[in-house]
Amino acid sequence: MEVPLMDLKAQYMLLREDLLKAVDDALTSMQLFLGPNVQALEKDWADYCGTAHAFGVGNGTEAIFLALKALGIGPGDEVVTVSWTFFATIEAIVHTGATPVVVDVHPDTLTMDPERLADAIGDKTRAVIPVHVFGHPADIDAIRRVTLPRDVFIVEDAAQAHGALYKDRRVGSLGIASSFSFYLTKNLGGYGEGGMVTTGCDWVADSLSLLRNHGHRSKYEHEIIGYNARLDEIQAAMLRVKLEYLDEWNRKRRRLAAMYDERLSDLPLQTPYEAEWAQHVYHLYAIRTDRRDELAKALEEAQIGHSLHYQAPPHMQPACRPFGLSQVDLPVTMELSKRVIQLPIHPLMKDEEVDYVCDVVRKTLG
């Protein structure tokens, strides 16, 4: 049996007729510049997340970058985040001209450790970016207890957590601004690039509306130097089709994760943790084992998709040397980089495929 890490083709075939109609309708209307699909998706996404505003942008990296720029963050400022994330989180900070600072993650949730954050905030800190990694929310209330007395902004990186809940609130509504990616592999993904910024603050929204569209205040007036960072109308049309399925797909991910948890519970490995205050949406199903490389080889031989997120964390990458990030002691992050492996999980995965994956894991580690 061949089991892919995710099956985008099967998902496309399921929705093919509706997706092609949505694209044809968009092209027939030729309203392709911040048109009706972008506007409708923005309203629907803001309503879904529980925020006042949402702005479609070109990709998830732009979403983080524009959220920081809208807050006035730039040279001379510091932004604290984690290194248990995709490189784009730190990359976006650098593009603003600010200096990235990294802290370790909590060994259970794999998200920002509030105790480590308290040690990292200094006089130049303007914002922190907690990452809701793999689909599990960061502990925002604990983080807020650290940031609020110091007047530091919270900007969520929710690129991997579409629909996840933190104490009955959706991620994307927990900070002054939040960023999402609609990259094709996400729980809600398009067929190319796309992103979204959400905020409940009118002044942040006003800044975002200018920044993403060349600083346009009106048709012939450029109030500021902005960017060309708009969500494409065709991507928005397809995302609107898929948004209707997001909650159902997340429920299926949770059911598959529960199957994995049960079948792997007696093995010498750690299955994903879910805090009592969280609802995980399992963008990725990450297990931890001291025999990761052996397991990766066995999965490859069995034609089972897998991935090693994040085998080389961003703070150890050559691009981050100028910021001295590799000198920061992040013991939990480095341990995870040697032990974590992703098993296949996606909404169209069959129960027998989960059984097959678990059989291979058991034969290897049991």
Answer yes or no: do 209 and 196 share one domain: yes
Answer yes or no: do 139 and 186 share one domain: yes
Q: In the chain, what percentage of residues exceed pLDDT 70?
A: 100
Q: Which two tokens stand for residue 40?
A: 């409708």
pLDDT beyond 90 at 158: yes
Check residue 50 and give left, alpha or beta (phi > 0: left; psi -120 to 50: alpha).
left
pLDDT beyond 90 at 98: yes
Please report whether residue 323 resides in a domain: yes
Q: Which two tokens stand for residue 57?
A: 């942008």
Q: What was the pLDDT predicted at 219?
A: 87
Answer yes or no: do 150 and 209 share one domain: yes
Please report whether residue 352 resides in a domain: yes
Q: What was the pLDDT predicted at 38?
A: 98
Please report whether residue 223 resides in a domain: yes
Contact 295, 341 (CB under 8 A): yes
Please report whether residue 3 resides in a domain: no
Please report whether residue 2 resides in a domain: no
Grade residue 54 by pLDDT with cuts at 50, 70 and 90.
Answer: very high
Q: What was the pLDDT predicted at 20?
A: 98
The pLDDT tens digits of the residues spanning 286-306 come to 999 999 999 999 999 999 999
Please report whether residue 88 resides in a domain: yes
Identify the domain boundary among 212, 243, 274. Answer: 243
Answer yes or no: do 165 and 270 share one domain: no
Q: What was the pLDDT predicted at 190?
A: 97
Grade residue 215 by pLDDT with cuts at 50, 70 and 90.
Answer: very high
The pLDDT tens digits of the residues spanning 258-285 come to 999 999 999 999 999 999 999 999 999 9
Identify the domain boundary among 182, 208, 243. Answer: 243
What average pLDDT is seen over the chain? Answer: 98
Q: CB neighbours of 54 closer than 8 A, spacing ≥ 6?
A: 41, 42, 43, 45, 46, 196, 197, 198
**Euclidean distance between CA atoms 288 and 305, whole angstroms:** 16
**Euclidean distance between CA atoms 295 and 289, whole angstroms:** 9
Q: Which residue has the tokens 């159902």?
A: 248
Identify the domain boundary among 216, 243, 270. Answer: 243
Q: What was the pLDDT predicted at 292?
A: 98
Answer yes or no: do 221 and 253 share one domain: no
- Residue type at position 116: R
Grade residue 198 by pLDDT with cuts at 50, 70 and 90.
Answer: very high
Q: What was the pLDDT predicted at 39?
A: 98
Q: What are residue 65's phi and psi, to 5 degrees?
A: -60, -50
The pLDDT tens digits of the residues spanning 103-123 come to 999 999 999 999 999 999 999
Q: What was the pLDDT predicted at 29?
A: 96
Answer yes or no: do 151 and 268 share one domain: no
Per-residue pLDDT averaged across 313-335, rounded? 97
Beta bridge partners of 216: 222
Check residue 282 and give left, alpha or beta (phi > 0: left; psi -120 to 50: alpha).
left
Per-residue pLDDT averaged across 155-179, rounded? 98
**Euclidean distance between CA atoms 204 and 301, whole angstroms:** 50
CATH classification at residue 84 = 3.40.640.10
Please report whether residue 353 resides in a domain: yes
b/e 214-234 (16+ beta carbons within 10 angstroms → b): eebeeeeeeeeebbebbbbbb
Pairing relation of β-strands 78-82 and 99-103?
parallel
Answer yes or no: do 254 and 234 share one domain: no
Answer yes or no: do 183 and 324 share one domain: no
Answer yes or no: do 252 and 293 share one domain: yes
Using DSSP's 3-state secondary structure scheme, residue 53 falls into: strand
Please report whether residue 1 resides in a domain: no
Pairing relation of β-strands 216-218 and 285-288?
unpaired
Answer yes or no: do 202 and 267 share one domain: no
CA dihedral sign, ordered 62, 63, 64, 66: positive
**Euclidean distance between CA atoms 27 and 30, whole angstroms:** 5
**Euclidean distance between CA atoms 271 and 289, whole angstroms:** 9
- Structurally, the chain folds into a number of domains equal to 2
Q: What was the pLDDT predicted at 326?
A: 95
**Euclidean distance between CA atoms 281 and 74, whole angstroms:** 33
pLDDT beyond 90 at 207: yes
What domain range includes position 15? 8-103+111-243
Answer yes or no: do 268 and 211 share one domain: no
**Euclidean distance between CA atoms 247 and 162, whole angstroms:** 9
Answer yes or no: do 233 and 275 share one domain: no
